[in-house]
Amino acid sequence: MALEEQCSAPPRWRSISLTHVEFPEDDLTGHLLAYISLIPIAILVGFVTLIVFKRELHTVSPAHVLDKVVVLERAQWAHTTVHTEYGMPSSHSQLIWFFVVYFFLFLYLRMHQTNNARCVDLLWRHILSIILLGIALSVSYSRVYLLYHTWSQVFYGGVAGSTIGIIWFFITQEVLTPIFPKIAAWPISEYFLVRDTSLIPNILWFEYTVTRSEARNRQRKLGTKVQ
């Protein structure tokens, strides 16, 4: 009798420190998925970091939308420390699918490689896209596995996030990008070193070549002074 009660008892739930994301005790899969479910929070932190250090207008644009989520009442689940009452649609699913869809469009429509390594360029884009898709699916699954959402809540969250991502990308490209140079020229933008790199096809390659050229020039001047 005691054995039957022990087998039918619900699992004990533990939470990750500071986050209160709960997972079944002694469940390694649940423990891993609990950390995976925190990826949307990490994305928000990453965007804030990019804004502070890069101060680029195209980065500010999606970050403005990432923290805007649709929230409705959530049913009560087995958790003991659920601090919100929102669940339809899943805000985690909205955020991760907004980011992934927006980044897909940015990767294939906004970024253009300037050198001749076209095959290599397409290969790393495809690999990165597959990784991002896997992350989005994992985050969505984690919310269901950990009993924070139902499949319908996750599905509608993904649809809402993807739709907002598509709409906001084209708003940024067609409406905001043409006025970015004017915004970057404002005195307050110049004071805070806000910049517009929307006309640069591959910002990573541009920053690399400019930095390397400047480092060589400074090294050459330093060598001349030493002589």
Q: Is the dihedral of CA 90, 92, 93, 94 positive or negative?
A: positive
Q: What percent of the chain has pLDDT over 70?
A: 74
Of the two residues 2 and 109, the one the predictor is more confident about is: 109
pLDDT value at residue 80: 52
Residues 152-174: tens digit of each pLDDT: 889 998 999 999 999 999 998 88
pLDDT at 162: 93
Read off the tokens for 20. 């209160």
Whether 22 and 79 have beta carbons less than 8 Å apart is answered as yes
Average the pLDDT over 76-88 and give the result: 50
Sign, Cα dihedral of 48, 50, 56, 58: negative
Whole-number pLDDT of residue 17: 56
Assign 12 to helix, strand or coil.
coil
The ranges assigned to domains in the chain are 8-196
pTM above 0.85? no
Out of 7-16, 68-77, 103-112, least confident range: 68-77
How many CA atoms within 13 Å lie on the side-chain side of 63?
A: 18
